[in-house]
Structure 1
Amino acid sequence: MLVVCEGEVTEIEYLTGVRDYFRPLPVDVRSCRLVGLGKDPGSVVDYAIRERDKKAKEARAQKDANVAYDEVWCVVDVDDHKTLEGALSKARQNRINVAVSHPCFELWILYHFAECRAGCDGGALKSKIRKHLPTYDKHLGRDFPFDRYETARDRAQKADPRLTAPNSKGCNPSTNVWLLVDVIRRSGRS
């Protein structure tokens, strides 16, 4: 599985932590910013398609289907991106799954601790997270409660019950990151 993130800190730390917590089959977690693509959902999806196709070509050359990615996910925020709708459409056309958080990924982090059903922005979410993680500055720390993902999923589903598929943008607040976490959990070995 390949997971390409728009962000370079919180998303990477969270998904790496989830991967380590559930110990799934191989999950490659990357940030597009680390490879110089910036924070644009269109670039994130384009990068994911290129990487998937590169691995598929490598698998054909090696005559080993296990080299190719079985599943590809992107993790993006709504923010003020003008390319989001186009990116979601392109992802659907290319069998890429996109988990979208509105307004941002910090909503998913907050759901591990508390409800949030009123529209908000990233600054408000960070303040709410600091009530539970006083030193939060995009970094999660080793003691983040990954075991609360089911509670977070329940809160996300209550906030926007219609957001049950990838490649969809929900209301503010909403996130379907739980779909990706469920896939990682199901492929876990523990």
Structure 2
Amino acid sequence: MATVNMQQGYTAVLWVLAVLGMEATALGECELTRLLQDKLQYEMRLQYMKHYFPINYMVQVQYEEVLRPSNITRLRNGTVSEVALRYLWFHVSSQAVLRIHEVLPEKHPSWKYTQELCQLFDALGKEYSKYQQSDVEAVVADLVKLIHSTGVESRRKAVRPKALLDNCLKVMRMLYGAPCQWEST
């Protein structure tokens, strides 16, 4: 019964957003990113991505795998759609979490935490499976292609694991806060 009422509430919210001409995210996206937001609380990022790592530990990532709020602002000013920005955020953030997870041995205290983040991104990936690179702006499609290319020599950058997750959360809040009607936290 509660599920039906919740679905009716979501339907009403989506209708209002459509009437206002705003791009609405899929229900699954809002639910999954809310779970990610809960999982990326400051205390958890600090504990699992800083305290459990050696001092000044860095993960090697592609230059394109570092997505900051300033990048999103620049792309928005270049008239990249919100859908394309969320698509980009998903690919960049899921790769960043995967890079962190790959360097951890299974007995590391952060392994289970990063595995749970990977599972949430896998579930979110199902939401994004309907999008094709041809459906988003060329600049975003090119970045996503570059992020997932293995044979291409790309510039590498050393980044702290916590910084990767900090950026993931900040950008996620920029992209999902308003459409998913999150309260400011």
Higher relative contact order (CA 8 A, sep 6+): 2
Query: Highest CA radius of gyration, 1 or 2?
Result: 2
* TM-score, normalisation: structure 2: 0.27
Name whichever structure is richer in helix by fraction. 2
TM-score by length of 1: 0.27
